[in-house]
Amino acid sequence: MARNAAEALGATGVPSFTTELIAGNLRWDLLSPWPCSDPADDARADEAIALLGKVLRTVDPVTVDDTGKLPAELLADLRRHGLLAPGVPIADGGLGLTPSGVFRLVEAAARHTRAVSMTMAIEAAIGVGAYLPVLAEGPLRATVREALRAGALSGTADTEPSGAANRRRETVAVPTPDGTAYLVTGEKVYVGNAPIADLLWITATVRSPDRERVRTFLIRTDDPGVVVTPHEFMGLRGFPNGRITFTDVRVPADLVLVEEDDYEGRITPAITVMLSLGRLYLICAPALAIARTSLRLAGDFARTRMIDDRPLARYDAVRRSTADSLAEVFAIESVTEWCLLAGPVRGLNPLLEQNLAKNICSLDSWRTVDRTMSLLAAEGFETDRSRLARGMPAGSVDRLFRDARGLRISGGVDYLLDYWFSQMIVFAGARGTGPGAPAPDLRHDGLTPRNAEHLRGAAASTRALAVLCDEFAAEGDDGAAPADQQQRHIAIGATYRELAAMALCLARAQHLAAGGDETAQHLADVYCTAARRRIDDWWPQISRAAQPPYAAVSDEWIDHGRR
Ligand SMILES: Cc1cc2nc3c(=O)[nH]c(=O)nc-3n(C[C@H](O)[C@H](O)[C@H](O)COP(=O)(O)OP(=O)(O)OC[C@H]3O[C@@H](n4cnc5c(N)ncnc54)[C@H](O)[C@@H]3O)c2cc1C
């Protein structure tokens, strides 16, 4: 997917902040003016959120978590109000919200019940409606529009038991002799919305004598040969997710997504654009909801718990922890705002920032909930069931913790995404061998001295990282890292996401400070201080610093059971 991101980016030819970052140039000028949403769009999203609030009034998140099921009538209610197709045009049965509106709606749902938000996000990100913009006029587009108007539920089935990280897909689609259809056979696992879906996009390998290509097919779940069974996760409980087997399922040839027929990869550039936006709904919206809720719980606890007659909130360690969590919420807000608005408002291409956002948001959210767990101590570790039994209100950290962990896996495991980013984006094309990009223009309009220093530090690291990457490329590292150099690429990918997050926090802080919100500067300062510490940790893994004998230790135990 990442390689496609590079290609999709190349196809648009519009400026991209992260492309410049990778070239060694922190283009601070591109981040200003900070993009703001249209008040009319916001008002329409507010209406949808109010509507959602009414629909969710009868949904109890604790019961959903306990039973692992959504209330029977809920999906029909959501569907009736268009809430399962918020981004779909009104003419096709949706609410016609902008991506920013869809994001806000999903985030609001996630603050109430994550399972509901996941179902909504799957529809918006990878359901039938999400593909509409990439479908040419024809039978497939007509089928999708008809399904949307009928309120069909859907999702995308890509992961297989052999592992999503594999390039190959073992599910096969065999053309019928008359060429009018394919017979699909195989198995998919962990598919969001599978148990409730009417339609699913599935990936399958089409073999011809000279080559194999993975193509996307639209199937109906009531087609003969389709069997769906539910999975259960430790978190996000109640989110319908399942395994699907296909045995000679007949798919008409005109329900194959044909986009750039010669394309060799599994996911085409146009679908990459769609998925990159979609992951903001699938991962970043619930990540923000979890971080905000964790922060609220931490605040409530720190305000009321007294230790030796002193409120917990007034202890140094707790102040730092609270400030770090506040800063991480600020960072998720900054990154997602940019990712959603930089395209439509500023005419920039935020595709790579959207790619980085998955890890930025899920990891920031994870750190926030983990910190809250530590703060609440045993109370944080206690389940809602136990709290309710002793007359306490529900609202434990337990559910947040379990749900947040899933966001680091769904859509790709975090370290692997960092690895792919370096391998397939940073090292995608020929890298320069010069001294690096010219020094960037860092003139700013009112950053505090500390934040101005963070900006200079980020720009210097950006430059140094590009020089190092150029050197590695000159030494023959083309991103196809041999097993013993993988960590270098993971660290490079991670450092780029830290640098991008820092820059976006600083730019939003500058914008908010200009409007009188000086706290934003402090939040950016706290975030950048932590991010720079993390970069300091990544750096030895990128540079040629001596490392412990990881491979020897691991291989000895894996191969011989010796340690
Ligand atoms: C809540 C949730 C919702 C989901 N929804 C959907 C959905 O709607 N549709 C769908 O198709 N799938 C879905 N998935 C599946 C999800 O996308 C995959 O679980 C995820 O991409 C990881 O793939 P995998 O579990 O198959 O692990 P694998 O890809 O098999 O990876 C196993 C381990 O190997 C590591 N690894 C892989 N390659 C390398 C490498 N080259 N170097 C080093 N380490 C490597 C991985 O990081 C991981 O730790 C969902 C999963 C969850 C948890």
How many other CB atoms are found less than 10 A from the CB of residue 180? 11
Rg (CA), the chain: 24
Q: What integer pLDDT is reported at residue 156 of this predicted model?
A: 97
Cβ atoms of residues 239 and 192 within 8 Å: yes
Q: What integer pLDDT is reported at residue 406 of this predicted model?
A: 98
Tell me whether strands 181-192 and 154-157 are parallel, antiparallel or unpaired: unpaired
Q: With a 6 A CB cut-off, is 362 part of the ligand 1 pocket?
A: no
Q: Give the whole-angstrom CA distance, residue 216 versus residue 222.
A: 18
Site to probe by mutation for ligand 1, drawn from 274, 409, 486, 490 as the one with most ligand atoms within 8 Å of Cβ, is 409
- Closest residue CA from atom 32 of ligand 1: 163
* Terminal C-alpha separation, the chain: 38
> What number of CA atoms fall less than 13 Å from residue 450's CA on the CB side?
12
Q: How confident is the model at residue 10 (pLDDT cuts 50, 70, 90)?
A: low
Which pair of tokens denotes residue 167? 């390039």
Q: State pLDDT tens for residues 97-154.
A: 999 999 999 999 999 999 999 999 999 999 999 999 889 999 999 999 999 999 999 9
Q: Give the whole-angstrom CA distance, residue 431 versus residue 479.
A: 11
State how far the alpha carbon of 472 is from the alpha carbons of 6, 20, 427, 466, 485, in Å.
20, 19, 10, 10, 11
Per-residue pLDDT at 433 exceeds 70: no
Q: With a 6 A CB cut-off, is 234 part of the ligand 1 pocket?
A: no
ipTM of the shown complex: 0.99
Least confident of 130-134, 188-192, 238-242, 259-263: 259-263
Q: With a 6 A CB cut-off, is 155 part of the ligand 1 pocket?
A: yes
260/317: higher pLDDT: 317
Q: With a 6 A CB cut-off, is 157 part of the ligand 1 pocket?
A: yes
Q: With a 6 A CB cut-off, is 127 part of the ligand 1 pocket?
A: no
Please, which residues bridge with residue 219 across strands? 200
Residue 414 C-alpha to ligand 1 middle, in angstroms? Answer: 10
With CA atoms as reference, report the closest residue to 497 among 58, 18, 83, 120.
Answer: 18
Give yes or no for a cis peptide into 344 (omega within 30° of 0): no
Per-residue pLDDT at 331 exceeds 50: yes
> What number of CA atoms fall less than 13 Å from residue 284's CA on the CB side?
35
Report the chain's mean pLDDT, rounded to a whole number.
93
State how far the alpha carbon of 14 is from the alpha carbons of 20, 258, 348, 350, 454, in Å.
11, 26, 6, 10, 27
Q: State pLDDT tens for residues 535-545.
A: 999 999 998 88
AA letter at 3: R
N residues, the chain: 563
Q: Tell me, rounded to whole angstroms, the distance of Cα 397 from its chain centroid.
A: 22
Q: State pLDDT tens for residues 437-480.
A: 667 788 887 999 999 999 999 999 999 999 999 999 988 877 77
